[in-house]
Amino acid sequence: MKEKTSLPLRRIRAENITKAVKKLFIDANTRLGRDVVAALRAGLKNEQSQLGRQVLEKIIENAAIASKASMPLCQDTGLAVLFIELGQDVRVTGGDFSRAVEEGVRQAYDDGCLRKSLCDPLTRMNTGDNTPAIMHIDIVPGNQIKIIALPKGGGSENMSRAVMLTPAAGMDGIRDFILQTVEQAGANPCPPVIVGVGIGGSLEAACLLAKKALLRPVGRKNKKDRRLAEMEAKLLEDINDLGIGPAGMGGRVTALAVHTEMMPCHIASLPVAVNLQCHAARHAEVVL
Amino acid sequence: MNDMLPAHEENLIRVETPLTDGVCTSLRAGDMVLLSGDIYTARDAAHRRMYDTVRKGLPLPVDLKGATIFYAAPAPTPVGKVIGSIGPTTSYRMDAFTPVLLEYGLKGMIGKGNRSPEVIEAIKQYRAVYFAAIGGIAALTARTVKKMELVAYKELGPEAIRKLTVSDMPLVVANDTRGGDLYARAQHKWRILV
């Protein structure tokens, strides 16, 4: 393998990380991505149910209102999930990296009128500032930091599932599990959904792949593996044949896209995770 | 079974709170409703508290007779606005607490997603109604709220019980007093996967 020469060390101030994270969560929560709006408009053309079309129209109208008024698209402004690629030639100065990120989350949810939706699992008392954030950090070559904010709503997260299938279950087993997950979810995850699928790895790796799959622009097929691209297209058809429809009130548009990521797994296992994303598919990213 | 979902503007039914037996029994799954009047927000934590309170024989902080509960917790209110973004949360999590609240006079519920067989049965028994709202259109829904007042469980933060005065909030009847079920009917009509 060709060795990469390391880049000159670059200093990034912790306060700039805080500022960036704050902006990302406010932007993500108030502005729906163009890719999502385009997918919703395409859905509107395909939807045969009149009620379904009305729901899609309202979703599109809501996105315009939210953006104009800088109001959250959805009251559930989510868990603060972050995917971070930290260049190995970056030196963070003036504070701790993780604390700087947490502070950005705190400020976004406080100053941006975003709902604080985290609580103690047992007492159910709200943590008050939407922290802790859920951070996934990769160390990568380079001297930059890429931060992706993914505010993740509870309704769609609750309908997500993981399973350790047997290798014998194969492709049919994977397909059945995904379809069952979407069908059982029904109206709960706020369809039309984006279906993130992670196949392989370990239990937690499959879950992480499924969530990472949600970061793809809506409807962009898997470019690394033709098998997966084909699976995505077939699954999208099958899911839309479930008839759940927009808001679960019936119709042809149950999902906007299926995104699948895969990695090798143990010879004994076939882990599959399905991470459902509501139609308010929010994410924003920045490179520092 | 009527499998047509009425979706025409002219089919809108105006309903005012507090809800009565008469109004509830007149509504049918699939009816498009514009709801006006006072409603309460309450979701997971508030339901747990109300349930525990009535089980202990203690008085509730709000009178549930004829009341409508919106399964919701708004985003914080921006300066100059009545309320922040607001919309329905998933209703099934309230199912375990719902029959008891219906027994105490609760008439209307607003949320998203289907209900348990026990709740569907209790809606028939107590002549109540479950309305479906569209999730994820919270900036739009906030416009239907004209007034907001915190009334109980302040310490629950967003999950506190708030009284909202709403005007023409668009809803669809999901479960009615005859056992009609919007979600079940919708899937029956639109599913083509074999």
Give yes or no for B113 touching A (CB within 8 A): yes
pLDDT band at B6 (very low <50, low <70, confident <90, very high): very low
Continuous segment of H or E residues that includes residue A134: strand A134-140
pLDDT value of residue A147: 98
Q: Are B76 and A115 within 8 A, CB to CB?
A: yes
Mean pLDDT, range A135-143, rounded to an integer: 96
Tell me: pLDDT of A92 over 70.
yes
Minimal Cα distance from A118: which residue of B?
A: B158
Residues in chain A: 288
Give yes or no for A244 touching B (CB within 8 A): yes
pLDDT value of residue A8: 87
Mean pLDDT, range B34-56, rounded to an integer: 96
Residues of A in contact with B7 (CB under 8 A): 49-51, 54
Give yes or no for B189 touching A (CB within 8 A): yes
Q: Are A75 and B112 within 8 A, CB to CB?
A: no
pLDDT value of residue A5: 63
Alpha carbon of B96: minimum distance to chain A alpha carbons (Å): 17
Could you read off the pLDDT of A102-136 as tens digits, one per residue? 999 999 999 999 999 999 999 999 999 999 999 99
pLDDT value of residue B7: 42
The rounded percent of chain B whose pLDDT value lies above 70 is 95
Alpha carbon of B57: minimum distance to chain A alpha carbons (Å): 22
Residues of A in contact with B86 (CB under 8 A): 75
Q: Are B182 and A186 within 8 A, CB to CB?
A: no
Give yes or no for A169 touching B (CB within 8 A): no
Angle between helix A97-111 and A14-30 (nearest 10): 40
Q: Cα separation of B162 and B145, whole Å? A: 12
Task: Quote the pTM value.
Answer: 0.94
Tell me: pLDDT of B39 over 50.
yes
Q: Are A250 and B187 within 8 A, CB to CB?
A: yes
Q: Cα separation of B74 and B68, whole Å? A: 16
Q: Which of residues 83-112 of A touch B (CB under 8 A)?
A: none
pLDDT band at B50 (very low <50, low <70, confident <90, very high): very high
Q: Are A126 and B73 within 8 A, CB to CB?
A: no
Tell me: pLDDT of A281 over 90.
yes
Q: Which of residues 191-220 of A touch B (CB under 8 A)?
A: none
Residues of B in contact with A77 (CB under 8 A): 75
Give yes or no for B138 touching A (CB within 8 A): yes
Tell me: pLDDT of B9 over 60.
no
Could you tell me if residue A243 is left (phi over 0), alpha (psi between -120 and 50 degrees) or otherwise beta? Answer: left
pLDDT band at B193 (very low <50, low <70, confident <90, very high): confident
Pick from B79, B90, B141 the residue to mutate for testing the A interface (most A CBs within 10 Å). Answer: B90
Residues of B with a known catalytic role: 47
Alpha carbon of B82: minimum distance to chain A alpha carbons (Å): 13
Tell me: pLDDT of B4 over 90.
no
Could you read off the pLDDT of B95-135 as tens digits, one per residue? 999 999 999 999 999 999 999 999 999 999 999 999 999 99
User: Going by DSSP bridges, is the β-strand pair A145-152/A284-287 parallel, antiparallel, or unpaired?
Assistant: antiparallel
Could you read off the pLDDT of B156-182 as tens digits, one per residue? 999 999 999 999 999 999 999 999 999
Which residue in the set B7, B44, B75 is minimally distant from A114, CB to CB? B75
Residue A254 · residue A194 · CB < 8 Å: no
Q: Are A115 and B139 within 8 A, CB to CB?
A: no
Q: Cα separation of B111 and B141, whole Å? A: 13
Residue A146 · residue A286 · CB < 8 Å: yes
Q: Are A114 and B87 within 8 A, CB to CB?
A: no
Say how many CB pairs under 8 Å bridge A and B.
170
Pick from B47, B85, B110 the residue to mutate for testing the A interface (most A CBs within 10 Å). Answer: B85
Residue A6 · residue A92 · CB < 8 Å: no
Could you read off the pLDDT of A158-188 as tens digits, one per residue? 999 999 999 999 999 999 999 999 999 999 9
List helix spans (H) across chain B: 21-26, 44-55, 98-103, 117-125, 138-142, 182-190
pLDDT value of residue B2: 37
Which residue in the set A51, A242, A252 is minimally distant from B7, CB to CB? A51
Give yes or no for B192 touching A (CB within 8 A): yes
Cα dihedral A3, A4, A8, A14, rounded to 10, equals -110
Mean pLDDT, range A37-60, rounded to an integer: 96
Continuous segment of H or E residues that includes residue B151: strand B145-152
Name the residue among B68, B121, B66 with its Cα closest to residue B99.
B121
Query: What ipTM does the predicted assembly reach?
Result: 0.93
